[in-house]
């Protein structure tokens, strides 16, 4: 029996693009430009009862972000039942 199943988890952040110099700084204040960064792209997994879940990867691989999302999901689930 699956205790937790995550299908197609994705997250995109908008980040301001910085331009060089004083003129670029003023332009960013008036009309900022943004670029999108994919933090997580289409992650799917399931966890059976009694299993331990761990994320392994290099620095900057969004392991903490994934852990926070899984913990939020578990907390919501526990409040409902």
What pLDDT sits at residue 80?
59
What pLDDT sits at residue 79?
64
Tokens of 70: 């899984």
Domain ranges in the chain are 2-80
Spatial contact of 28 and 16, defined as CB atoms under 8 Å apart: yes
- DSSP class of 23: H
**What is the average per-residue pLDDT within 61-78?**
74
Across the chain, mean pLDDT equals 79
**Is pLDDT of 81 > 80?**
no
Listed in sequence order, the residues at least 6 apart from 77 whose beta carbon sits closer than 8 Å to its beta carbon are none
CA distance 79 to 40: 26
Q: What is the pLDDT of residues 1-31, one digit of tens each?
A: 677 788 888 888 888 888 888 888 888 888 8
Tokens of 55: 């994320």
What pLDDT sits at residue 78?
66
């Amino acid at each position: 029996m699956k205790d937790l199943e995550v299908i197609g988890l994705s997250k995109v952040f908008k980040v301001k693009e910085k331009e060089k110099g004083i003129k670029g700084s003023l332009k960013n204040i008036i009309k900022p430009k943004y670029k999108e960064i994919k933090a997580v792209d289409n992650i799917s997994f399931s966890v059976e009862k009694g299993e331990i879940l761990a994320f392994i990867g290099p620095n900057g691989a969004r392991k903490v972000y994934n852990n926070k999302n899984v913990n939020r999901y578990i907390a919501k689930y526990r409040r409902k039942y």
